[in-house]
Structures are given as structure tokens and as C-alpha cells.
Amino acid sequence: MMRDPRMRVVLLAGGALVTAVVVLAILIVGFGARLDAPTISLAAVAAALVYALGQLYAMVWALSRPDQVAQVGQAAGSFTQAELRDEKRRLLRAIKELEFDFGMGKLSKGDFDTVIATYRLRAIEVMRALEGGATLHPELAKLLAERDLARNTPPVVEMPVETNAAPEASARPRGPLDDTTRICGGCSGTNEADARFCKFCGVPMKKLDGTSVAPVQTPATGEIGGAP
Amino acid sequence: MSIALAAMTSLLSSLAPPLSAVPTGALSIATLGTATILVLFVLSLGTVALGAIGAHRRSERLIEGAVQGTYASFGLAAFASSLIIYAFLSGDYSIQYVQHTSDAAMPLFYKITAFWGGLDGSLLFWVLLHTLFGSLAVRANRMRHRELIPHVVAVLATITCFFVGLLLFIKDPFSQFLLEVPTQGKGLNPLLQNLYMIIHPPSLYLGYVSLAVPYAFGMAALFTGQVDAAWQRSVRRWVLFSWMFLTFGLILGGLWAYEELGWGGYWAWDPVENAGLLPWFTATAFLHSVMIQERRGMMKAWNLVLIIISFLLTIVGTFMTRSGVVQSVHAFGSDPVLAWTFGGFMLVIVLVSFGLLIWRLPLLRSRGELESVMSREFAFLVNNWLFLICAIFVLTATMWPTFTEWRMILAERYPDWMAWQDPGERVVIGPPFFNQYMRPLGLALLLLTGIGPLLAWRKTSTASLVRQFAGPLAFGVGCTVLPWQLGIDSPWGLACFGLCGFTFWTIVQEFYRGIALRRKQRPQNVLEALISLVLRARRRYGGYIVHLGVVLMFLGWAGNAYKLEKKVQLRPGEEYTLGAYTIRHEGLHATEDWQKEMITADLSVLKGGEVKDVLRPARWWYYQLPDQPTTEVSRYMTPGEDVYVSMQEVDMTSGWTQLSLYINPLVNWIWIGMAVMLAGALVCAGTRKSEGAVDDA
């Protein structure tokens, strides 16, 4: 009886509605009641009862199922991937906002350049940590290498503490880390499922949807942010 | 299941009596209702246990059981509520609550809304909404935040348990008359038989009750240690909806007071009004500070504190309204048992929530840091402090009379201990005291509303400061000088006009520059650019629209400084001139309907010798409560001012009519401001799909 939850809701609501109509019919035809507010509300009472009983039954049914290990109870602080993705989203949005604020004239050119350089670098770093070096687009890898060479040291960027665990995650061979990832048809870079543009070559992902962008499913057993 | 089957059989056996309208015997609606509440209590306890044990053992089976238990508790609450509504509609006066709050002559609509008209029913209504919101929140988030869900369910079910426990042990809405069953109802308080009162309490309730969901998610985040931004994504929208309902409920309450109570004002700093305002302050603070956490990873602990305090304040508000610890026109009456129960619950919330918070403090370290004082983050920070100060001030001032009363009681009971100090009297803190302190706080917040958007996130250049502030400052100064030249001299009023102008121009400038920037980037006409601007950054521009509403409301409050009021006695044919208007008494007439007797006065409103409108203030005497006549206000509304008349005393034989006349400048902008605020909030809430697109763009 493993029904779709949505189906279950529809069934319950439908059952309650049918009950209401049936009870109303019985009251009017069987007991000779008038079709007034109390009678209608009595039908509603019956519908609510059926709904409540249905939900109680669903609860009992859920408890009678065989058990399996739930995806809960992760140790505190081990939320690398989710946290990294948040950080990435935050940085990208920050860059966008900075550009907007600069366009609105709230920042001087000098301030804008200093602040945005820091954020760009951090965004690149976070993306690298997310994807692992292996999935970096060759162009970007070259660019980063040049930058590193120019400074003669790897870019010193204040990284979030939690990202320490990221290299472990990225040590896996190039593979999907999320629930679903999409490969860009243009450059074969790995992007998030909900990406609208490829982050390596900038080609809009939506337009390629269904043609060259193939969703890649992950096994459902993986816990959020690492091995179980 | 067996209990449920018993419930079914008892309903079947109770089918016959309701048709004869007065149920008798053991299996009545009342018995069934009480039994349902009992089942609901047991179910909630079970859900708490299932959620907690399921999370501990990582058992999918137990967690799914707990989730289904949450849905089932809504089902049972809906069943209990439908029972009491049925009792109201069928006139089952064997139930005390039904007898106290309704009568046969009440219109159908009021009979249904009498459900939440009294204390016991309002608690059941609370449970209904709480379980509904709990179910919706769990359903929406169970796939996205699987790891939080068992904890969320357990916290929500604990809260359900508390309120259902109140219903079961202290305030059973289904309790019956044990001896003589009355044949007639007492009727709902006539003051409550009003359209606003039908919408206003549920709206506040929706705001209050829905704040439990963010609290549950916050607690779950603390339990699991997943204190990143994930829990906030689930709750941000909830808080926004709570905020909308609170705003709507509060202002509707003001409108009710304005139209129904007849004292010419809309906000009297009554404890119950304040109770609704307190969580509003902290929820507003949260909506601002959550942006800092989203963008900068800062203020994680602070946001949790705000959520905890907001939820706590909803319980404090409920406690103040229902326990009788504060004296108020619309408190439900004194009840020491309820007061102690609520007190205990609040203590548990404080200890558990803040205990957890302190335990998780190492995880809540800030990620970023303030780069400059001239940044939007800092403006938000100050805004948060001000909102918190407002909340603390209002709470303290509201509770102060009660504290002094407790001191008196202590001094009476333990004269030896308390001899060192003078117990004094019960202090009364009136509106002037609140106004004195809240006025500067409100204006400071308005100033921040203006400054905040002009600052960039992270850092604002000094050079651009001038460019940003020049326009708004000039407009603000203009808005101060112009009214001053027109003869307005109240310093607070002038300051308010100036700040309104400043903030208004900020918003205009933000929209103007945003549109200009967008048109520079792509060829669009102004309207297209405006729409795409708002849609691309819903929260930013929705927020500005909310701010515009705030400005309009402040404009309405500024008008309060120039209010005219006069109590006059007029006989038919006489006139009185107040401000630019002349009021002429045209006569009185008495009418009655099946519920009440009414005496209505016809008053012409003249301006410049021309009749603008005919006002009809009235006094109504309900047959059920003849010693509590209600005052029906009549007003002539214009964008500039309201001519507001209420009838105090009337003598039908001589025609003497005592009237309270008011001219309230700009007051209607408050209601317009509310509409604008809600529209802005709707833009912010937006749809999930498009917001996701913006987030990831």
C-alpha cells in the first residue's frame, strides 16, 4: 500500500468529501432533516471524523512498516557539502550585489575593485573545494595556475573552517556529489542540477535542456555531505 | 484505533439527538468532544515520543509514525472544532461555552465565529491552527530537511501537548452544565459582533501561532547542530507570513478600536494590543537580521535568539490576555491556575531554548565580520537593537503595574520582610508614558529605514555618500520647512514629516536608479524595467514597498499631533464649528430590530457653507446586555482628514445629544499604509520557483 503521499492526501480529502455528501443525503432522505446550517455542519463533522480516522490509520500503518535506517543524526559540524554550496551561493550573490551597488553609484571604483577581487577569489576557491580539482575546467585551472604563479604562492584566502573536510569528499573520482548534477554540453563541466548557466563556459543550460544536458542520478543511499 | 472506533460509534449514536437540537444522555456532542481532546492529548504525547526516539535510533519507521501523528493531530483538532461549531449552530446549550458565547438570535456568521469569541474556544482554535501549520510545515520540508524533521515534529507536538493539556485539564470547551441545562444562550458580547472582530483575532492568531514553526525549526537546528543557513530557508517565508498576519491583525485591531469604541483614537497601548505588538517587533528584527546571516554568515546565534524570543513573546502575549495578570478592556478575565500553568511553560521554554543555545554556541561562531560602520549590515544591526529595545520597553511598561501589584501583595503577606520599602499603590501607566518613549524610538527606526537602503553591503564609499544622501536630505528638509511655514509648530510632528520625506525620497531614488541601470543594460521601457527590476530582486524591492507603507503610516501618525477634539451638547437645529467644519444637528430617530434598540442622530457636515456629508452616529442597546450600550461611530473620510463623531448620551424627550467630535488629520493614510505594506510583503514572499531562480542566478 505504499502510495504516493500526494495520492494519499487526495484520497483522504476525497473520502471526507464523499462522506459529507453521503451523510447529508442520509440526514435529509432518511431522517427528514432540513437543508440548513446545523445539518450541513453535521455533515462536515462526519467528514472531519473520516479525515481524522484516515490520518490515524496512516500513522498506524507507518508504524507497522519494516524499519530502515533514517538519514538523520549526523554528528554536529559535518555539513561540508551543504555548507559549501551555501557559501558559494552567498558569494555569487554578494558579487552580483556588489556589481549592482557599484552600478547604482554606492561604491567608488577603487573600493569596488578591492572588495570584488576578494569575493571572486573566494568564490573560485569554494567552487574548487566543491567540485574537487579534477572537475575544474582546463581553462579555469590554467587561469588559477597562472594566478598562483604570479603570486608565487597559492592564493591565501580565509576559508571557512568546515571546508577542511571538503578535500576528502573531493578525493573521490570525478563523480556527482549532489542528488543530481548536469554535464554541460558545451565543455563537459559538471554543474548543479538547478544551474541556469554553465559555470565554466557560460553557456545557458536551460536552452540545452533535453538535448545535450543529461541529468545524472546518484544512488539514494548517500548521506548529505559525505559517506554514511 | 479502538478509541477512534469508539468515537465513531458515539458519533453515530449522537446523530439522533442533535436533530432534536437538545442532546441528552451520556453520549452527547460534549462527551464526544472531550473524548476527542483526550485522544488528541495522548496522540501528541505519542508523537513527541516517536519523534524523539525515532531521531535517537535513526528509525525511519518511528519518524514516519511521528510525521503521520502530526497530520493525525490536525485531523483530530479539526474534528473537535467541527463538533463545537456544530454545537453552536444547533444551539446545544448543555455545553457551557456555547451557552456563554451565543444565543439563538445571533446571525449565522457570528455563531460560527463565536467559536473563538471566548477563552476556551480560542484555545481550541489555537490548537487547530497550530496543528494545521505544523502539518503544512512538516509536509513542505520533510524531503528537503530530512535530518531536522523528527526534531521539528517533536517540538511542535510538545507545544500541541501543552495547549491540549490546558483544554483537557483546565479549560474544557466541551464542559457541560451538570444540573440545570439552560434553554437560552447568553449571547456574544455586542462589541465583538463586528466585522473587524471576525477578522482581527484570527489574523493575530495566525501570526502568533505560525511563529511556533520557525521556533521548532530553530530548536531542531540546535538539537542536530545543523545551524547553517538550511533551517532558515525553511522558516524565512514562515516568519514573513507570520509578520504579515501580525501586521494585518494589529492594524485591523486599531481600525476596530477606531470605529467601534468611539474615543477617536486607534491605539491606546492597552496590554492586549501590546501583546500583539511584542512579537511583531522581534519578527521584524529577525526578517532584517536574517539577511545578514544569508549574505555574510554572521549573527547566527542572534537570529536564533530572535526566533526564540519571538515565540516566547507569543506565549507571553497569550498569557497576558488569558490569565488576568494585567488589567485590560479585552482580557478574558482573571484565572490564577492558568497564570501559573503559563508561567511554568514559559520558564521551561526559556530554560530549554537558551540552554540549548549556550550548548551549541561554539558552532554558532560568526563567519564574516563588519567591514565598515558605513555598511548596510551595521544599519541592520542598529535596527535590530532598536526593535529589541522597543520590545523590552513595551513589555516592561505593560507588566509594570502588575509588578507593583505583586509587590503590594508581598508587602501584605510578609510585612516583616518588606518593611524596608513603601509598597505604594498599583501604578497605572497610560498612553502618554508610552508615547513619550516610543515616539523617539519610532522616529529613529524611520530614520534607519531611510538610511539603510542608501548604504551598500559591506562598505560604502565616502564620496558616494554625498551623492546618495543629497537628494533625500534636500527633500526631507523641504518636507520639514513647508509644514512649518504653513503654521504647524509641533516639533515631533515636524520631525516626523521631515523623516517621512527623507525616507520617501530614498525609496524613489532607489527605484529610479535601479530602473536607469537596468535600461542602460538592456533596451526596455520604464514599465518593463520596473517590473523586471522588482521580479529579479523581489526581496529587495518588495522590502522597499514595505518601507513605503511604513512611511505612509508614519504620515498618519504625524497627523495625530494636530488632532482636534471637543465634547459638545447639541439639540436638533443647533450647530457647532470645529476647525474648518461645521456640524449641524438635523434630528434624532429611534429604531429597533430583533436584536437591539437603536437611537441614531443625523448630523450634517458643512465645509464652506456646503453640505459635504450626513453622519449618523448611534447608540445601540442589545436586549441581551441592556446595560452595555454600544457606540456606533460615524465619520466623513477624506485623504486629508477624518471628521469623526460618536454619540455619548442622548435624551429622546428633550433632544439633547452629547457628542464627541474629532478631526483626525491624515489618519486614513495609516490604513492605506497597511495595504501598501502587505502588498510589499507579498512581493517579498513571491513564489518559490522564481525565487530559487534568482538565488541561483
Poorest-pLDDT segment among B95-99, B172-176, B560-564 = B560-564
Residues A131 and A196 in one domain: yes
| Contact status, residue B575 vs residue B660, Cβ threshold 8 Å | no
Residues A119 and A206 in one domain: yes
pLDDT of residue B532: 85
* pLDDT (tens digit per residue) in A99-126: 887 887 777 777 788 778 878 888 888 8
Going by C-alpha positions, the residue among B413, B423, B554 that lies closest to residue B495 is: B554
Shortest CA distance from B371: residue in chain A: A115
> Is A106 in Cβ contact with B454 (below 8 Å)?
yes
Output phi, psi for B410, to 5 deg. -60, -45
pLDDT of residue A96: 83
pLDDT of residue B424: 64
> Is A82 in Cβ contact with B54 (below 8 Å)?
no
Does position B142 have pLDDT exceeding 90, yes or no?
no
User: How many A-B residue pairs are in contact by the CB < 8 A criterion?
Assistant: 209
Nearest to A38 among B63, B65, B89 (CB): B89
Residue B55: C-alpha distances to residues B46, B215, B228 (Å): 14, 18, 19
* pLDDT (tens digit per residue) in B678-693: 999 998 887 544 333 3
Residues A54 and A113 in one domain: no
> Is B75 in Cβ contact with A48 (below 8 Å)?
yes
> Is A27 in Cβ contact with B19 (below 8 Å)?
yes
> Is B146 in Cβ contact with A87 (below 8 Å)?
no
- Amino acid in position B422: D
Average pLDDT value for chain B:
84
Confidence tier at B523 by pLDDT (50, 70, 90): confident
Q: What is the pTM of this model?
A: 0.79
Give the residues across from B631 on adjacent strands: B619
> Is B71 in Cβ contact with A58 (below 8 Å)?
yes
Does position B112 have pLDDT exceeding 90, yes or no?
no
Cell of B121: 474556544
Q: For residues A122 and B526, what is the distance between their CA atoms, to the nearest angstrom?
A: 36
Long-range contacts of B41-46 (CB under 8 A, 24+ apart): B41/B161, B41/B164, B41/B165, B41/B168, B42/B3, B43/A56, B43/B69, B43/B72, B43/B73, B43/B76, B44/B69, B44/B73, B44/B157, B44/B158, B44/B160, B44/B161, B44/B164, B45/B157, B45/B161
A75 in a structural domain:
no
pLDDT of residue B485: 87
Poorest-pLDDT segment among B352-361, B365-374, B474-483, B572-581 = B365-374
User: A226 or B487, which is more confident?
Assistant: B487
* pLDDT (tens digit per residue) in A160-178: 433 333 333 333 333 344 4
A72 in a structural domain:
no
The contacts of residue B136 (CB under 8 Å, 6+ apart) are none
What residues of A are in contact with residue B689 (Cβ under 8 Å)?
A: none
Measured between CA atoms, how close is A155 to chain B, in angstroms?
Answer: 19
What residues of B are in contact with residue A100 (Cβ under 8 Å)?
A: 517, 537
- Amino acid in position B80: A
- Beta strands per DSSP E along B593-651: 596-607, 610-615, 618-622, 630-632, 634-637, 641-650
Total domain count, chain A: 2
Measured between CA atoms, how close is A173 to chain B, in angstroms?
Answer: 26
Q: Is the ipTM of this complex over 0.90?
A: no
* C-alpha dihedral, B514 to B517 to B521 to B527, nearest 10°: 50
Residues A120 and A205 in one domain: yes
- The angle subtended at Cα A188 by Cα A186 and Cα A194, nearest 5°, is 85
Q: For residues B111 and A218, what is the distance between their CA atoms, to the nearest angstrom?
A: 56
What residues of B are in contact with residue A59 (Cβ under 8 Å)?
A: 65, 68-69, 71-72
Measured between CA atoms, how close is B87 to chain A, in angstroms?
Answer: 8
A192 in a structural domain:
yes
pLDDT of residue B269: 86
Give residue A143's domain range.
Answer: 80-217
Residues A87 and A188 in one domain: yes
Mean pLDDT is highest, among B160-174, B402-416, B514-528, for B160-174
* Interface with chain B: mutation pick from A11, A45, A65, highest number of B CBs within 10 Å: A45
Confidence tier at B183 by pLDDT (50, 70, 90): confident
Residues A107 and A183 in one domain: yes
> Is A106 in Cβ contact with B61 (below 8 Å)?
no
* pLDDT (tens digit per residue) in B615-645: 999 998 888 777 878 888 898 988 888 899 9
Residues A177 and A107 in one domain: yes
pLDDT of residue A52: 93
What residues of A are in contact with residue B20 (Cβ under 8 Å)?
A: none
Cell of B65: 509514525
pLDDT of residue B408: 77
Nearest to A86 among B54, B228, B455 (CB): B228
Confidence tier at A154 by pLDDT (50, 70, 90): very low
pLDDT of residue B156: 96
A222 in a structural domain:
no
Q: For residues A15 and A2, what is the distance between their CA atoms, to the nearest angstrom?
A: 18
pLDDT of residue B404: 80
A93 touches chain B (CB under 8 A): yes
> Is A98 in Cβ contact with B457 (below 8 Å)?
yes
Mean pLDDT is highest, among A116-125, B18-27, B166-175, B188-197, for B166-175
Nearest to B82 among A45, A111, A194 (CB): A45
* pLDDT (tens digit per residue) in B66-80: 999 999 999 999 999
Going by C-alpha positions, the residue among B95, B83, B108, B106 that lies closest to residue A42 is: B83
What residues of B are in contact with residue A27 (Cβ under 8 Å)?
A: 15, 19
Delimit the domains of chain B by residue range. Answer: 1-188, 562-670
A226 in a structural domain:
no
Does position A143 have pLDDT exceeding 70, yes or no?
no
> Is A73 in Cβ contact with B1 (below 8 Å)?
no
Residues A22 and A126 in one domain: no
For chain B, give the percent of residues with pLDDT over 70.
Answer: 90
Measured between CA atoms, how close is A137 to chain B, in angstroms?
Answer: 20
Measured between CA atoms, how close is B630 to chain A, in angstroms?
Answer: 29
* pLDDT (tens digit per residue) in A6-65: 788 888 889 999 999 999 999 889 888 888 888 899 999 999 999 999 999 999 998 988
pLDDT of residue B1: 44
Confidence tier at B21 by pLDDT (50, 70, 90): very low
Cell of B553: 503610516
Confidence tier at B517 by pLDDT (50, 70, 90): confident
* pLDDT (tens digit per residue) in B264-310: 888 888 887 888 899 999 999 999 988 888 777 778 888 999 999 99
Going by C-alpha positions, the residue among A27, A49, A167, A103 that lies closest to residue B8 is: A49
Check the CA dihedral B634-B638-B639-B643 and report its sign.
negative
pLDDT of residue A188: 64
A71 in a structural domain:
no
A163 in a structural domain:
yes
Does position B18 have pLDDT exceeding 80, yes or no?
no
pLDDT of residue A225: 31
> Is A72 in Cβ contact with B224 (below 8 Å)?
yes
Instruction: Label each residue of B447-479 as H, E or C.
Output: HHHHHHHHCCCCCCCHHHHHHHHHHHHHHHHHH
pLDDT of residue A140: 62
> Is B461 in Cβ contact with A111 (below 8 Å)?
yes
* pLDDT (tens digit per residue) in B319-338: 877 766 666 555 555 677 88
pLDDT of residue B324: 62
Residues A50 and A118 in one domain: no
Average pLDDT value for chain A:
67
The contacts of residue B89 (CB under 8 Å, 6+ apart) are A37, A38, A41, B108, B111, B112
Among A residues 186-205, those touching chain B with beta carbons less than 8 Å apart: 192, 194-196
Mean pLDDT is highest, among B345-359, B487-501, B585-599, for B345-359
Residues A49 and A140 in one domain: no
* Interface with chain B: mutation pick from A36, A59, A96, A113, highest number of B CBs within 10 Å: A59
Confidence tier at B432 by pLDDT (50, 70, 90): confident
Output phi, psi for A204, to 5 deg. -60, 130
A51 touches chain B (CB under 8 A): yes
Mean pLDDT is highest, among A211-220, B452-461, B611-620, for B611-620
Shortest CA distance from A60: residue in chain B: B65
Residues A163 and A52 in one domain: no
Mean pLDDT is highest, among A142-146, B260-264, B367-371, for B260-264
What residues of A are in contact with residue B86 (Cβ under 8 Å)?
A: 38, 41-42, 44-45
> Is A38 in Cβ contact with B18 (below 8 Å)?
yes
**Residue whose C-alpha cell is 511553560:** B345
User: B153 or B526, which is more confident?
Assistant: B153
A74 touches chain B (CB under 8 A): yes
Q: For residues A197 and A182, what is the distance between their CA atoms, to the nearest angstrom?
A: 11
| Contact status, residue B451 vs residue B376, Cβ threshold 8 Å | no
B47-57: average pLDDT: 92
pLDDT of residue B688: 47
Among A residues 15-44, those touching chain B with beta carbons less than 8 Å apart: 27, 31, 33, 37-38, 41-42, 44
Nearest to A45 among B61, B86, B146 (CB): B86
